Structure 1
Amino acid sequence: MNADEKKVIEQIVINTVKKLISEKDSPNRVVLGISNKHIHLSQEDIETLFGKGYELTNMKDLKQPGQYAAKESVKVIGPKGSFDKVRILGPARPESQIEISLTDARTLGIKAPVCESGKLDGTPGITLEGPCGSVTLNQGVIVALRHIHMPTDVAEKLGIKDKDWVCVETSGVRKTIFCNVLARVSDKFDYEMHLDTDEANAAGLNNDDYLKIIPNR
C-alpha cells in the first residue's frame, strides 16, 4: 500500500467517525432504553410488603433524573402464573403500577392494556408478595405505551410538543418503523426512548442503540 492509498483510507475513516458523531449529536437521534417488567410502589404498599417505615434502597441510578433501580424486588402473582423477584423502581409514587410486556401478561393470565404510564383507570389488578406481607391491587397493571422522554430544548428544535405522536426508525437486519410513539416533553427529562422487551427483541435492538425520529405517518 503506497502513501496515497493510506491517505485515502485515513480520510475515509475520519469521515466515517465524523458522520457517526454527527448523527448521535443530531436532535432527531435518540438513545434507546429497553424496559423489562418492573414495579412502581406507593409508600403505603412499600410498608405493607417490607415493613413499617421501610424505605427503598437505591441500587443503581437510571437515566431519567431522580429515578433508580431499587435493591428490593417482590413476587408478582397472576391468575395463571407468577414472576419471582420483579425489580422495584424508586422513588415511591402516589399509586402503585406494574409495567409488563404482552408476553408477560399472557404468562400471568391477565389482559393488560397498552396505555400511558399513570393512566390506570380500568386496568387489571394483581397480587404482590414481599418479605413482610402481600398486597392485592385492584388496578395498576399496564403494558407501557412506547414513548420518548424529551427535554424541552430538543423538542423545540424538532418542532414537537408534549403529547405529540411521532414515528421512530431503527436500522439493521430487522429495520423497523415504530409509529404512535408518544413524546413526553419536560425540562426534567433526559433524552431517551423506551420500548418494552417484546418490541425491542422483535426489532433486534439493544440498550443504547440510536434510533431516528421521523415525521409521523
Structure 2
Amino acid sequence: MAKFIVETSARHVHVTQEDLETLFGKGATLTNKKNLSQPGQFACVEKVDVVGPKKTIPGVSILGPVRPATQIEVSLTDARTLGATPPVRESGDIAGSAGCKLVGPAGEVELKEGMIAAKRHIHMTPDDAKVFGVSDKEIVSVKVSPCSRPLVFGDVVVRVSEKFALAMHIDTDEANAAGCAGEVFGEIVK
C-alpha cells in the first residue's frame, strides 16, 4: 500500500496584511525563516503572543504568506492553557470560532473569532488522489508508523488541490498520543 509523510503541525498564526501592520508596524512584511512542505508556505521570523481568557502563550510562530483572514491554530491542550474553547475545523473555517488577542511589538489585535483546533487532514494533488483512490473532502482512516504507541486516526479529511504537496498534518496532541517522533508515515486503511 502507498504511504505518505505525516507531519506534526505545532501551534501557529496566519495573519492578514492589515493585522500584520497593526502588530509589527506600518509597511511590515513577513520574513521567511524556513519553507514548509506545502508549496509557497513558510515559517516566519515574526512571532506574536496569543492571549486567552486564562493565560498567554508567548512567541507563537506566524506562517506566511499573509491570508484573507487572521486565524490561530492550536491544539486542544493549548486551548485549555489559554482558557479558550475552539472548535475542531478545517483551516479557513473560522466563522463563529473562538476569539483571542494577538500581541506584537507594535500593537495588539483583538479577534472576536479565528481560533480553531485544525481537523487532521491529508493534502493531495488530483494525481495523488487517483493513486490513493480517494476524492476531495472524503473522510478516511490513517494508520501511522513507526510510532511508539501505534494507532489509527479516524475522521481524517482528504483535501485535494493542484496547489498541494502530498502530506498528512496532525497536531502536537495527536502526535504525542501516537508517540510519533522523527520521520513518520501514514497509510489509508479501509
User: 1:32 Cα deviation (Å)?
Assistant: 1.0
Percentage identity across paired residues of the two chains = 51
Runs of 4 or more consecutive aligned structure 1 residues displaced over 6 Å after TM superposition: none
Q: Return the match for 2:117 from 143, 152, 156.
A: 143
Q: Which has the higher strand share?
A: 2
**What TM-score does the superposition give when structure 2 sets the normalisation length?**
0.97
Q: Is the 8 A contact 1:124 1:141 kept in 2?
A: yes
2:23 corresponds to: 49
2:40 corresponds to: 66
Distance 1:167 1:52, change over 3 A: same
2:126 corresponds to: 152
Superposition CA RMSD, Å: 1.0
Q: Is the 8 A contact 1:32 1:206 kept in 2?
A: no
1:179 corresponds to: 154
Q: Which has the higher helix share?
A: 1
Query: Aligned equivalents of 1:51 and 1:207: distance in 2?
Result: 37
Farther off after superposition, 34-43 or 169-178:
169-178
Farther off after superposition, 55-64 or 153-162:
153-162
Query: Aligned equivalents of 1:34 and 1:117: distance in 2?
Result: 15
2:172 is the counterpart of 1:197: yes
2:62 corresponds to: 88
**What TM-score does the superposition give when structure 1 sets the normalisation length?**
0.85
Query: Aligned equivalents of 1:38 and 1:179: distance in 2?
Result: 24
Q: How many residues align?
A: 189
Please list every run of 5 or more consecutive structure 1 residues that lacks an aligned counterpart in the other structure: 1-25
Q: Is the 8 A contact 1:32 1:207 kept in 2?
A: no
Could you give the per-residue CA deviations for residues 184-203 of structure 1, whole angstroms, max 9, x where no partner exists?
Answer: 01111111000000000010
Could you give the per-residue CA deviations for residues 47-68 of structure 1, whole angstroms, max 9, x where no partner exists?
Answer: 0000111100001000100000
Please list every run of 5 or more consecutive structure 2 residues that lacks an aligned counterpart in the other structure: none
User: 1:207 Cα deviation (Å)?
Assistant: 4.6
